[in-house]
Structure 1
Amino acid sequence: MRKFLFFMVAALLLVLASSTAAQPSVSAEGAANVWSQIDESTIPAAGQATYRADTYLTYSADFGALRDLLSAAPREGSDNPALALALPLPNGSFVDVSATEYAMLEAGLAAKYPDFHTYYGTSASDPSLRARFDLTALGFNAVIWSDAGTAYIAPYQLDDTVHYLVYWKHDATPTSPLNEEGVLGEAVGAALAEGPASFNTGEQLRSYRLAMAATGEYTIYHGGTVANGLAAITTTMNRVNGIYENDLSIRMLLIANNDLIVYTDPNTDPYTNNDGFAMLAQNQANLDAVIGSANYDIGHVFSTGGGGVAFLASVCNAGTKARGVTGSPNPVGDPFDVDYVAHEMGHQYGGNHTFNGTTNACGGGNRNASTAMEPGSGSTIQAYAGICGSENLQSNSDPYFHSISLQEMVNFSQSGGGNSCANITSTGNTPPTADAGDGYTIPAQTYFELTGAGTDADGDPLTYNWEQFDAGAAAPPNTDDGTRAIFRSFEATASPVRTLPKLDDILNNTTTFGESLPTTNRNLTFRLVVRDNHPGSGGIAWDTVDHTVVNTAGPFLVSSQNTATSWVGNTSETITWDVANTTAAPVSCANVDILFSSDGGYTFDSELLAATPNDGSEAITVPNVNTTTGRVKVICSDNIFFDINNVDILVESSTSAVQQSAFSASNSGSLAGALAALLGLTVVVGFVALRRRQSA
Structure 2
Amino acid sequence: WMIFLFACLAPLNVVARFSPSPGYRMWSFDSLGASSVNGTQRTLVNVNHESFVSFVNNRAGELPYTLLFPSVLGETLECDVVPAFLAPGLLEKYPSLVSWTGLCKGRSSVSLTYNLNVPGSLSTTFFKDGQVVRVELDKKSSDAALYTIRRYADSEVSPDFQFITKEPPKFNDEAALFSNFLSGGRHLDQALTGLPVPPNVDKAYKFRIAFLVTDNFVAKLQAQGYATATKVDVIGYLSEILARLNGIFMRELGVFFELIADSEKLICLSNVPAGCGNWAPAGTTTSGNLLDRVGEIIEDEGVLSTDYEISHALYDVNNQFGVAWMGAVCRGNVTLRSGVSGVGTLNIDLKSDSFVVDLFAHEVGHQLLGSHTFDFCPDNPNYEDGFNFGPYSIPATAYEPGSGVTIMSYTGICGANGDVQQDSDPYFHSTSLLQMRAFVERQVNFAGCPNETIAISIAKPTLQVEVPDQNGTPTCTVPVGNFVQLTGQVLNPDNTATYYYTWERFDSQENTNYQVRANPRFMTQTPRADQPIRYLPNLYLATYPNVLASQLEEIFP
State the TM-score bracket (shorter-chain normalisation). 0.7 to 0.9
Distance in structure 2 (CA, Å) of the matches to 1:124 and 1:166: 19
Q: Deviations over 1:571-610 (max 9, x none)?
A: xxxxxxxxxxxxxxxxxxxxxxxxxxxxxxxxxxxxxxxx
> How far is the alpha carbon of 1:314 from its aligned partner?
1.3
- Structure 2 residue aligned with 1:316: 330
Aligned equivalents of 2:138 and 2:229: distance in 1? 18
1:304 and 2:330 matched: no
Quote the residue 2:534 is aligned against.
498
Paired amino acid for 1:465: T
CA 1:433–1:420: 2 relative to 1, 3 Å: farther
Once the two structures are TM-superposed, the CA of residue 274 in structure 1 deviates from its matched residue by 6.0
Cα distance in 2 for partners of 1:195, 1:478 equals 38
Alignment of 1:500-579 (within 5 A): 500-508=536-544, 513-514=551-552, 516-519=554-557
CA–CA distance in 2 between the matches of 1:83 and 1:72?
14
Deviations 1:355-405 (A, max 9, x none): 111322373552211111000111111001111112222111111110010
Per-residue CA deviation, residues 452-508 of structure 1 (Å, 9 max, x unaligned), is 1123335311111111101023123254667xx631111111211111122212333
SS of the residue corresponding to residue 478 of structure 2 reads strand
**Structure ranking higher on relative contact order (CA contacts 8 Å, 6+ apart):** 2
CA contact under 8 A between 1:505 and 1:512: conserved in structure 2?
no
Letter in 1 for 2:367: Q
Give the aligned partner of residue 217 of structure 2.
218
Alignment partner of 1:271 is 2:271: no
Which of the numbers 425, 440, 448 marks the counterpart of 2:484?
A: 448
Give 1:308 shift: 0.8
CA 1:450–1:295 in 2, change beyond 3 Å: closer, same or farther? same
Superposition deviation, residue 335 in structure 1: 1.0
Q: Residues 352 and 166 of structure 1: is their aligned pair in 2 closer, same or farther, counting only changes over 3 Å?
A: same
Q: Hey, what does 1:130 align to over in structure 2? A: 109
Give the whole-Å Cα distance in 1 for the aligned partners of 2:99 and 2:308. Answer: 20
Matches within 5 A, 1:232-247: 232-247=237-252
- The range that moved more, 419-428 or 154-163, is 154-163
Matching residue of 2:264: 259
Cα contact 1:298–1:321 (8 A) shared by 2: no
- Residue matched to 1:284: 295
Task: After TM superposition, list the pairs within 5 Å mapping 1:646-665 onto structure 2.
Answer: none
What is residue 486 of structure 1 aligned with on the other side? 521
Question: Are the structure 2 counterparts of residues 447 and 201 from structure 1 closer, same or farther at C-alpha, using a change threshold of 3 Å?
Answer: farther
| Equivalent residues of 1:430, 1:458 under 8 A apart | no
Partner of 1:172: 156
Partner amino acid, structure 2, of 1:114: P
1:427 is aligned to 2:456: yes
The Cα of 1:110 is off from its aligned counterpart by 1.3
CA 293–495 in structure 1, closer or farther in 2 if over 3 Å, else same: same
Are residue 111 (structure 1) and residue 92 (structure 2) matched? yes
1:334 aligned residue (353, 372, 383): 353
* Structure 1 pair 99–473 and aligned structure 2 pair: CA distance change class (3 A): same
Q: Which amino acid aligns with 1:286?
A: I
Question: Aligned equivalents of 2:236 and 2:204: distance in 1?
Answer: 25
Cross-structure match for 2:233: 228
User: Secondary structure of the equivalent of 1:183?
Assistant: coil
Aligned partner of 1:375 in structure 2 is 401
Offset of residue 132 of structure 1: 1.9
Residue from 28, 33, 48 that aligns with 1:35: 28
Conserved 8 A contact 1:200-1:432: no
Tell me how far 1:34 sits from its aligned partner. 2.7
Question: Helix, strand or coil for the counterpart of 1:435?
Answer: strand
Q: Give the counterpart of 2:441 among 408, 414, 417.
A: 414
Post-superposition Cα deviations, 1:625-663, rounded to whole Å, max 9, x if no partner, equal xxxxxxxxxxxxxxxxxxxxxxxxxxxxxxxxxxxxxxx
Match of 2:372 among 353, 364, 367: 353
SS at match of 1:260: helix
Q: How many residues align?
A: 469
Aligned to 1:400: 427
Q: Which amino acid aligns with 1:101?
A: V
Structure 1 residues 264 and 409, CA gap change in structure 2 (3 angstroms): same
Identity of matched residues, %: 22
How far the C-alpha of 1:200 sits from its partner, in A, is: 7.0
TM-score, structure 2 length as denominator? 0.76
Contact 1:195–1:407 (8 Å) recurs in 2: no
Q: Which amino acid aligns with 1:301?
A: A
Q: Aligned pair in 2 of structure 1 residues 481, 39: CA closer, same or farther (>3 Å)?
A: closer
In structure 2, the partner of 1:184 is 170
Q: Is it true that 1:65 corresponds to 2:17 in the alignment?
A: no
Checking the alignment, whether the CA contact within 8 Å between 2:81 and 2:103 is kept in structure 1 is no
1:34 and 1:65 in contact (8 A); partners too: no
The equivalent residue for 1:680 is none
Query: In the alignment, does 2:497 pair up with 1:460?
Result: yes
Counterpart AA for 1:379: V
**In structure 2, C-alpha distance between the alignment counterparts of 1:456 and 1:235, rounded to whole Å:** 33
Distance 1:506 1:461 in 2: 30
CA deviation after TM superposition for structure 1 residue 108, in Å:
1.0
Alpha-carbon contact 1:386-1:393 (below 8 Å) kept: yes
Contiguous gaps of at least 5 residues in structure 2:
1-21, 172-177, 222-226, 385-390, 468-474
Change over 3 Å in CA distance of 1:226–1:82 after alignment to 2: closer
1:435–1:287 Cα change, 3 Å? farther
Residue 118 of structure 1 aligns to a residue in which SS? Answer: strand
Shift in CA distance, 84/446, structure 1 to aligned 2, threshold 3 Å: same
Gaps of 5+ in 1: 1-28, 41-51, 520-696
* Gap change, CA 1:298 and 1:73, over 3 Å in 2: farther
Q: Distance in 2 between matches of 1:301 and 1:350?
A: 18
Q: Secondary structure at the match of 1:314?
A: coil
Shifted more, 370-379 versus 442-451: the winner is 442-451
1:95 matched residue in structure 2: 76
The answer as to whether partners of 1:280 and 1:322 remain within 8 angstroms in 2 is no
Q: Considering only aligned residues, what root-mean-square deviation do their CA atoms show, in Å?
A: 3.3
Per-residue CA distance 1:45-95 (angstroms, 9 max, x = gap)? xxxxxxx995545443111222444678898xx9x7761312353x6x243
Structure 1 residues 288 and 492 mapped into 2: Cα distance closer, same or farther (>3 Å)?
same
For the 8 Å contact 2:210–2:308, the answer to whether it is kept is yes
Instruction: Please state how far the C-alpha of 1:420 moved relative to its aligned partner.
Output: 3.3
Q: Distance in 2 between matches of 1:294 and 1:160?
A: 44
- Counterpart amino acid of 1:324? G
Question: Which of 455, 465, 475 in structure 2 is aligned with 1:436?
Answer: 465
Q: 1:440 to 1:56 in 2, by over 3 A?
A: same
Residue 298 of structure 1 aligns with an amino acid whose one-letter code is I
Q: Deviations over 1:324-349 (max 9, x none)?
A: 01122532221111111111000000
Aligned position for 1:469: 506
Distance (whole Å) between structure 2 residues aligned to residue 505 and residue 346 of structure 1: 31
Q: 1:84 to 1:103 in 2, by over 3 A?
A: closer
- Pick the structure with greater CA Rg: 1
In the TM superposition, residue 279 of structure 1 has moved relative to its aligned partner by 1.3
